[in-house]
Each structure stands twice: as C-alpha cells, then as structure tokens.
Amino acid sequence: MIFSFIGTITCAVLVAGYFYFARRTFLGTLSLPCVSLLVAVVYFFLMPWVTIEYGDPVFFGSVLDDLRWMHFGVLLYALGLMAAARITENYLQADAARTHTVEPESNIYTFYLLLAISFVGAITLAFLGQLNISASSDYDLSEAATVYRFLNYSFTMMISLSIFAAARYNFNILTLILSVIVALILIQAGFRYRLLLLMFGLCVSFLLCREIRIRASWTVVGTICAIFLSNLMGIGRVYGNGIQTSRWEDLTFSDVMRSFGGEIGPIYVFKDFAANELPKLIYLEPWTVGVSRLIPSFLWPDKPDAEYLRLIPYWFSDPAAATAGVAAPQHVEMLLQFGWMGIPFLAFLYFCAAGIIQHRLQRLSRPARIAGVALIPAFFGYYMQTRGYFFQVLSDSIFLFGPLFLCHYPVTTPAKRSYRRAAYFISR
C-alpha cells in the first residue's frame, strides 16, 4: 500500500527534492523546502507504515487500505512547493545572520509593549477560565468564555518575540528564562504545534547566531526528537488544562514513538477524500472566512463560519468522528477549493508567499531577520501543511511574523537619520 507505483515515485521525488534544496539553500536541510519535504515523508509514509505495522489501521471506522490517490496528491503538492522554492531560491540563499552595511534599528519600546500585551492575553485567558496557568489539578475550563479565543494568538506572539529577544541579546540568561516561561505556558495551553515552533525557532536561531553549519545528521536526530516530544505531549495534554503526567506511566520509548494519536487523523481524512468523488467545490470560501476570522467573535458574532469543515468527518462511519476534532491536512482544503489542479497551484502560491516574507525580513534588523528566517521553515513547512486551514494559517502568520515588523516601526537607519537632520537644518 505504501510503496505502490505512485507511492514509490512520490517518495523518490520527495527525497530527491530534499537533497537538491539541501545543497542550494543557506539553511540546508533546515530550509523551508527541505523541512516541507521531510514533513511529507514523515506524515504520509512513515506514520502510515508505523500504524499499519504496529498499530490499529482502523480510525473511526475508516481503514488505511488504498493510499495511491493520497500519494498522488502529495506528489502534486511537492511539485508546487518545489517550483515555488526554485523561483524564490535567491531569497532562500540569503544569510540572515550576516551584518548589513547599513543595519536597521529595532524599536525596543515596541518590543516590550508587544511582549507585555502577549502576557496580558495569557493572563486574561487564565482569569476567564480558559487556561490552567497555575497547573491546578482541580481546574475546570469555562465554556462561557469561548468567544474570547482570539486571545490564544497571544501565545503565537510570545513565540516570535522570545526568539527575537534571544537573538538580540545573544541568548543570555534572561532570554533563556523568558523562553522557558513561554514554553511552560504553551505546555499548559496544550498547543504542541506552538511548542514545536518555539523549539525549532530557538534551535535554528542559535545555530545562526553562533554561525554553526547545519549537518544532515543533526536533522535526523532533531526529527526523531520532534516526533518523540510531539507524541509525548499528545498523550498527556488536555487543552487549556496542561499535561496530565499520569498518562505517561509505564510508557517506553518505543510506545511513545508509535503513539501518534489524533495526529494520524489527517492521513485518514486525506486518504478518504482523495479516493472518492469530491463534493461540490467551495472555491474562495476559505479565503473569505480567513479574512472575516480576523475580527473577534464578540464584535461580530454572526461572521461567516468555515462550513466546509463539516465535510471533514463525512467518510468516517463512526459518528463520534464529528465531535472528535479530527483535522485535515492542507491538501484536502485545496481539493475542496479547486479540485486536483488546485493542489499544485495553491501550493505554489502559498510557498511563493513564504519566500516573499523571507525576502521582506531581510530589510529588518539582524535579530528580527534571524527570528523570522528560523520560524519560516517550521511554520510553512510543518504547521501549514499538516493543519491546513487557511483561516488558521493567515491568523497565526500575522501574529507570528507581524510583531517582528512592528518592532521596527518606524524603521530607522543611520542614513535616514542623517537625511532627516539635514532636512531639518535646511528648513530652518
């Protein structure tokens, strides 16, 4: 099933693209295209193999029986992202840690203000009963405050701001304490993808600041560690209520590496949609919903909702799938928008946008460049591909990369200050 004819071709293309871009990008195996292709191998080849070989291939009544059409969709997606990476290759070759001749200055007061806002958001969620920040064992989550879930984006802001601080102050003890505090808050919130973004960003930014070249062997070790930590957190987490360590009792390393939990759900969703006739196309609905979702629910309670998400559990025979929060990868949303041709087209479009963001980051100060470039591979290569809903990607990208740009408002350089002084004296 996994290495059918189309599966073998797809895997070969993923591996070939991985080694190609590892040699042609500055971050090498940790660059955006390499991380994207590596994530595709892990999710659509390794995880199904482990599930079939060691686990239960039945998930809410759906069975991993034919993966050919899913692998065909993965191939189309890979071709789109590799075409985008090839076009934006010059942007991927830039060294974010290299000091520019005229280095922009960051506004440290804006940084402290944004950092304070992000922590106020987390504290507000705790007071509203949406976050067990005190790690209390008898904590009860409040359902009445769900309209304030937009405050969850304060966690996203913490990620980029803590990495920015670490790069700016060269990973001194205070920035390390800040990173640990942010990591503990993310653990209590139960968002493992945000924790992985933080850890990946800190590791890559540290390597950039220390001018350490990334080796392929490190990437393999890092991938194993990421799978282990992701599965471990998935076993013990409760959204908003922290980690229940009692769930880790009697677990071995092998048990954790095979326990993908709900993370395996997107594979079943993709397999079912790819192997059956597609429903009526939704075209621009994810984009219109994505824009409207930027307005908090308490200001616009009746704003458009992502109705197409109700189609996700359609192929599961077990009705419990509708309330289990089963997600879909980005490929499924692309299929629902424009059919099979939408996968390579939208993948190309989104990864071109990622390349443009990386290019725009080069105009910021060195710490912001390092933080942004360190986050782009994990965000677009891992989070966007596996979580897949445009409104989530749009919102999280604004709150992840936006603070890095806001920390430079207004962006001042020595040349601009000299010009303003000259203009001032001339006007006098």
Q: Tell me the C-alpha distance between 170 and 370, whole Å.
A: 11
- What distance in Å separates the CA atoms of residue 428 and residue 416, rounded to the nearest whole number? 18
Residue 93 phi/psi, 5-degree rounding, is -90, -5
Tell which residue, 6, 54, 416, has the closest CA to residue 252: 54
**For 372-426, what is each residue's pLDDT tens digit?**
999 999 999 999 999 879 999 999 999 999 999 999 876 554 545 554 454 444 4
The reported pLDDT for the residue numbered 248 is 87
Contacts of 65 (CB under 8 A, 6+ apart): 1, 57
Residue 96 confidence class, pLDDT cut points 50, 70, 90: very high
User: Is residue 138 within 8 Å of residue 165, measured between CB atoms?
Assistant: no
Question: Once rounded to an integer, what is the mean pLDDT over residues 99-120?
Answer: 92
Average the pLDDT over 111-131 and give the result: 91
- Determine the average pLDDT of the residues in 186-200: 90
pLDDT score of 131 more than 90? no
> From CA 167, how far away is CA 175, in angstroms rounded?
9
Q: Is the pLDDT score of 216 beyond 50?
A: yes
Mean pLDDT of 115-132: 89
Please calculate the CA angle 187-193-194 and round it to the nearest 5 degrees.
60
Q: In one letter, which amino acid is 97?
A: A
Alpha helices in 299-341 (DSSP H): 330-338
User: What pLDDT, on the 0 to 100 scale, is given for residue 140?
Assistant: 64
81 phi, psi to nearest 5 deg: -70, -35
CB 243 within 8 A of CB 236: yes
Q: Worst-scoring range by mean pLDDT, 113-122, 184-193, 245-254? A: 245-254
Rounded to 10 degrees, what is the CA torsion of 145, 150, 156, 157?
-110
How confident is the model at residue 4, as a pLDDT? 93
Residue 363 has pLDDT above 80, yes or no: yes
Is 122's pLDDT higher than 80?
yes
Q: 3-state class of 244 per DSSP? A: coil
Summarize the confidence of residues 282-307 as an average pLDDT: 87
User: Under a CB-based contact definition with an 8 Å cutoff, are residues 88 and 355 in contact?
Assistant: yes
pLDDT above 70 covers a percentage of the chain that reads 91
The answer, yes or no, to whether residue 95 has pLDDT greater than 70, is yes
| Interval 86-107 mean pLDDT | 91
Per-residue DSSP letter, 333? H
**Average pLDDT rounded to a whole number, residues 355-364:** 95
Overall average pLDDT of the 188-192 stretch = 84
Question: Phi, psi at residue 136, to the nearest 5°?
Answer: -75, 140
- Residue 243: in which H helix or E strand, if any? strand 242-243
For position 142, what pLDDT does the model report?
A: 63
Residue 139: pLDDT band by 50, 70, 90 thresholds? Answer: low
| Mean pLDDT, the chain, integer | 88
Question: What pLDDT is stored for residue 425 in this prediction?
Answer: 45
pLDDT of residue 9: 97
pLDDT at 69: 97
